[in-house]
Amino acid sequence: MQSKHCNMLQSWSRRGSNGTTSSTTNRLASINTNSRVETASVPMLRTLTSIRKDSCGSGTQECIPQHNASQCLSDNRRKSLLHYLIVLIAINFCYLQPASADQVVLLDTTREATLEWTRYPYGPQAQTPGWVEESFTDFVKGINWRSYVVCDVAYHNVNNWLWSPFIDRGPANRLYIEIQFTIRDCSLFPGNALSCKETFSLLFYEFDAATREPPPWQTDSYKLIARIAAGEGRFNQNSDVDINTEVKSIAVTKKGVYFAFRDQGACISVLAVKVYYITCPAVTENFAHFNETPTGREITIIEKQNGTCVENAEPYEPPTYLCKGDGKWTILTGGCRCKVGYEPNYVNKTCTECPAGTFRSAEVRKCVPCPPNSSTSSTASPLCKCIPGFYRHPRDGRHMPCYKPPGPPTNLTVLFVDQTSAIISWNAPAKDEFGMGQTEKYRSDVVYKIRCSMCNSNVMFNPSTDTFNETKLTLTNLEPVTTYTVQVHATNGISYLVDPTLYANETFTNSEVQFSNVSSTTTKNQQLDLNEIKTEHAEIIFTTESAILSTIFNLRVLAITSKDADLVWDKPVQSDAPIELYEVRWFPKPELDAMNKTALNTKETKAHIEGLSENTEYGFQVRCKTVNGFGSYSNIVYAQTHQPVSSVYDDSVQVRFIAGAIVAGVFFLVIFIVTTVYFLRSKHQDELDKKSSNHLPLPMDYASNEVNAMDTTPIVKTLHSNVTTPLFGNSRSYVDPHTYEDPNQAIREFAREIDANYITIEAIIGGGEFGDVCRGRLKIPPNFVQDIDVAIKTLKPGSSEKARCDFLTEASIMGQFDHPNVIYLQGVVTRSNPVMIITEYMENGSLDTFLRVNDGKFQTIQLIVMLRGIASGMSYLSDMNYVHRDLAARNVLVNAQLICKIADFGLSREIENASDAYTTRGGKIPVRWTAPEAIAFRKFTSASDVWSYGVVLWEVMSYGERPYWNWSNQDVIKSIEKGYRLPAPMDCPEALYQLMLDCWQKQRTHRPTFASIVSTLDNLARQPQSLLTIRNSPENDGTQVLDTQRGHNIFISTDLWLENIKMSRYSQHFKEANLVSAQQISRLTAQQLSDMGITLVGHQKKILHQARQLDIVI
């Protein structure tokens, strides 16, 4: 129904005052729109017409703007005017589309009822008709747009201008303008066109305020955006009309902008113009709200937006979000969390208050019911208060139940008592029950305290501490025939909370006490005495036996076997009554509690004891009994039972047999090893003698390792075994394309040929040695419907055959690599012109430019992730035996996800900036990034790439600063030879700067491998606290790497010696190995260093070399 009404309104509105449709409709046959930008949010409809009173003749009339002129209407036509306005509003409402959140439209001519833009020339004095405002209508598409047309092809010196109204940019940093237009083919005007063209110019003029008069139209007042041609095609009498859509963008800084269209003899219809800017939409992440944020002035600039916490949330780290140039958010850091008492809703990203009867503390993730014996009646509670009589320990989480103090111990019993000692035991207090009949889990911190009446200072307690958790107590040094009262008190962590009067000056809320008050002072600043705490206890009373004068002396063990023992003793020298019998007791030495479990009675002064355990030490005691009772036990005598003789003999024979077999095996093994080594050494020497006459080294320029220095080939020791493996694997190696006689053969082997018809070039984004670098689209198999962004390197037309070979050599190199941190080759175009290399597209361009644009916007951990990617890519290339030779931040590309990838593999390319190059007999070298041995001897290896990586690391941490600043190349070379190294960048962590110095070791064998660099960066990323130590580098600090042969052989202490040789990072390793003297260090071996955890081969060699220097001094 709505569509039907809209069609009726369109047919009415399309008719002018004469009742006919616009001429533009008759010129166009059909429409094929191909818009590449989605419709953005539409502002409110502007006022289409305004009614104003004016004086027309003698009466008051209303003047209504109509197209290109104002027509005065009489009072009796007001009603028809009102109907006209309603129709125009209804038509615009019919075409109003829902808006997405990533665009803000500032101007859209398809929403306007009339345009009335400023034109030149215009009026009766104009030499050419110029721009004419008309309506563009399509009944099928339901379109009714106001547009401008111009077709002055029959005139000389055409110069037609059309200005947009002043457009206030608002918060925008970059404006986009989308133009829908058609262009007629000049072939439609054979012989009649005097100045026919098929392009027009788009210009702009920034201004700080709207002006009454349009800005001057002279060329020097406006900046050219682009010359626009028909991309979809031109139309003639025999073809349908194609609507072309062109989108351009400009950076803006002033209050607003005018756009201008300049025609110099074309037949054009500007059908629609839309001006907008792109924003990252308002979002809520991590419970932080980020407002809508316009993108930066440049597409590569990242805008940082600070977030605000949602209601009832608080930040745990300041929330920040980065807005990219394409209107998408990236790299969220920090965030907020719901306050206690509020539950996080992760779907709606809101914080909801906890209802009554529930709570949420920091220990729980959502609102939960109150734990047992606690309650709350308010909403948004951070805790539940304990009910009266129950308490919660301050160290317990707020989700823990509340408890009562423990009851008294149960089943208190006297196990043993004599004249001077007693043993008592008890059970733990009875458990309480919760309100619902659930048995309480007893607190594990129940301890006992003893109070004893009549116990003097000589009485000994075991356990002897004031409080303990055992359920048995032994008392010794008691007095005979004395009555003792012993109380056993049970306490736990909340017992001190029962009586709040002990803390009169402290304020506790609802039985919740700060833990500092547990052992703090009382109101009189006296130490808190547990005796003052009200506790439950059990009590027992016992009386010691009377003292007997009869005491046994001279107890001895006559004989002892594996199971039996014979004891004898002397009669007491003095006795108060005749002796009735003797009581003998024994017990294993460690088990003093078992001393009363085994005993026998005898009337003789000797005893035979049976049933002892083998190979066990026993304690023996004897006491006598008279009519007055038992006397005291004698002193303890210890003796150990034997092991059975037969068993000992058998074990001895077995041990001797095993030992003999081991000795014989070792002997034969040694003989075998010696024989094998001698044979292999003899054979190896023969082979060396045969090869010594015809062995030729590889050319120095292409050596990827020290092939003729076999003694010094680095060996990497594995961490989990004693096996050593070569530094480079041989599973897959790089093949030099220069070894092929025909470069096209290398291309066919390593690169994929792509049909040029599947490639579309969209824009030129840079220039290179061989030609232009463009952004484009590549249709991908299998059906070649979908396409992806690609970078396209083109070869200049007319290039020499050598330039063509060098150009394709880079593709032959890239085609051999497949790694997430190495630029990926999509393919090549060699069967048509221009010759092209197609690679993946990296949105953020080169790393050095990207860092300079975003100076200071990244955290250290983010930079480490980028550095780790570069090291991983170089480790892959190193394993392939490929040496890059020109690793620098300018040759590393960054994509939209901030992933860094190694690029620029041309072996014979020219250096872009002559000041960065140093000419030798072998060609130009980028001095600031090149290792000393590569500059002096053109010796390029993976170790020289490691040096370059150290400079890249410095570039990243300094956000793209130029290494060695404005120094000349000769100054750089001389300073490096003298030991100068770049100082630490500002706010650079000590660990990262130390890694730079490792990469800049003068001896290339002392530098780390790329694999170890990846491992080091992984460890730093997993331990961010190690990045908190910042390297303090004074302005004049030119870090001097001391000569390793000078000043290191003076030993004062291990720490100072390690610091002198720049190995202080291993101080803790030496301390743990207890290496404190020069003699110990001088005898170190490589195996000892590996066992200590020092696994880098270069560091091992350096430490051992300096240790041998100590040996010379000693």
Tell me the residue length of the chain: 1114
Q: How far apart are CA 416 and CA 595, in angstroms?
A: 11
Q: How far apart are CA 992 and CA 1020, in angstroms?
A: 9
Pick the CATH number of 736-841 from 3.30.200.20, 3.40.1190.20, 1.25.40.10, 3.10.450.40: 3.30.200.20
Phi, psi of 415 (to 5 degrees): -85, -35
Q: What is the pTM of this model?
A: 0.41
* Per-residue pLDDT, 505: 37
1062 is in an annotated binding site: no
CA 320 and chain centroid, separation? 15
Q: How far apart are CA 1040 and CA 1052, in angstroms?
A: 22
> Do the Cβ atoms of 337 and 344 come closer than 8 Å?
yes
* Per-residue pLDDT, 668: 81
> Do the Cβ atoms of 374 and 390 come closer than 8 Å?
yes
How big is the CA angle at 271 (ends 265 and 274), to the nearest 5 degrees? 115
Q: How far apart are CA 874 and CA 1009, in angstroms?
A: 10
The token duo for 249 is: 């963008």
Residue type, 769: E
Strand duo 599-602 + 629-630: pairing: unpaired
Residue type, 924: K
Fold of 844-1032: Transferase(Phosphotransferase); domain 1 (1.10.510)
Q: Superfamily for 283-338?
A: ephrin a2 ectodomain (2.60.40.1770)
Helices (H), 1023-1095: 1054-1060, 1067-1072, 1078-1082, 1086-1091
Tokens 């989605």: give the residue.
Answer: 38
* Per-residue pLDDT, 351: 95
DSSP, collapsed to helix, strand or coil, labels residue 422 as strand
* Per-residue pLDDT, 823: 94
Contacts of 218 (CB under 8 A, 6+ apart): none
Cα torsion 104, 110, 114, 120: sign: positive
Contacts of 791 (CB under 8 A, 6+ apart): 765, 773, 774, 775, 776, 838, 839, 840, 841, 842
> Do the Cβ atoms of 399 and 382 come closer than 8 Å?
no
> Do the Cβ atoms of 257 and 282 come closer than 8 Å?
no
Neighbours of 832 (CB within 10 A): 10
Distance set, CA 136 to CA 28, 83, 119, 471 (Å) = 9, 22, 19, 100
Distance set, CA 448 to CA 425, 455, 461, 470, 519 (Å) = 12, 18, 13, 8, 18
The token duo for 845 is: 């361009």
The token duo for 77 is: 């036509």
| Closest residue by Cα to residue 543 from 712, 726, 421 | 421
Phi, psi of 743 (to 5 degrees): -60, -30
Q: How far apart are CA 894 and CA 901, in angstroms?
A: 7
Residue type, 1077: S
Tokens 């609507």: give the residue.
Answer: 243
Helix axes of 1010-1022 and 990-999: crossing angle, nearest 10 degrees: 180
102-280 carries CATH number 2.40.50.140:
no
Q: Superfamily for 1054-1111?
A: Transcription Factor, Ets-1 (1.10.150.50)
Alpha-carbon dihedral angle through residues 1043, 1044, 1048, 1053, given to the nearest 10 degrees: 120
Tokens 């756009």: give the residue.
Answer: 259
Distance set, CA 759 to CA 504, 735, 774, 775, 815 (Å) = 86, 29, 11, 10, 19
> Do the Cβ atoms of 886 and 910 come closer than 8 Å?
no
> Do the Cβ atoms of 370 and 359 come closer than 8 Å?
yes
* Per-residue pLDDT, 874: 96
Q: How far apart are CA 373 and CA 361, in angstroms?
A: 17
CA 704 and chain centroid, separation? 34
Strand duo 40-41 + 100-108: pairing: parallel
> Do the Cβ atoms of 183 and 145 come closer than 8 Å?
no
- Tell me which of 152, 879, 886, 945 is the catalytic residue: 886
Q: What is the mean pLDDT of each run of 10 residues along the chain (1114 residues)?
A: 39 36 34 33 30 33 33 41 45 38 88 90 83 89 90 88 92 94 84 80 86 62 88 61 88 92 92 95 94 91 93 94 92 93 92 93 88 90 89 83 88 88 91 52 80 89 90 90 91 74 37 33 40 79 78 86 91 78 87 69 91 89 83 85 58 61 82 77 48 31 31 32 34 77 83 90 80 90 84 87 85 91 93 90 93 91 94 94 93 94 68 45 76 91 95 95 91 91 91 94 93 93 84 48 44 81 86 86 87 83 81 44
Q: Max CA-CA distance within the chain?
A: 158
CA 602 and chain centroid, separation? 82
Residue ranges covered by each domain of the chain = 102-280, 283-338, 553-641, 736-841, 844-1032, 1054-1111
Helix axes of 78-94 and 2-13: crossing angle, nearest 10 degrees: 130
Known catalytic membership, residue 54 = no
Domains 553-641 and 1054-1111 share a fold: no
Q: How far apart are CA 633 and CA 409, in angstroms?
A: 32
Q: How far apart are CA 377 and CA 369, in angstroms?
A: 12
787: exposed, middle or buried (C-beta count within 10 Å: 0-12, 13-18, 19+)?
A: middle
625: exposed, middle or buried (C-beta count within 10 Å: 0-12, 13-18, 19+)?
A: middle
Q: How far apart are CA 264 and CA 224, in angstroms?
A: 14
The C-alpha R_g of the chain, in whole angstroms, comes to 47
Enter the CATH code of domain 553-641. 2.60.40.10
> Do the Cβ atoms of 628 and 548 come closer than 8 Å?
yes
How big is the CA angle at 701 (ends 697 and 706), to the nearest 5 degrees? 50
Q: How far apart are CA 781 and CA 640, in angstroms?
A: 88
The token duo for 254 is: 């002033």
DSSP, collapsed to helix, strand or coil, labels residue 954 as helix
* Per-residue pLDDT, 141: 81
Q: How far apart are CA 871 and CA 876, in angstroms?
A: 9
Q: How far apart are CA 864 and CA 887, in angstroms?
A: 17
Q: How far apart are CA 847 and CA 849, in angstroms?
A: 6
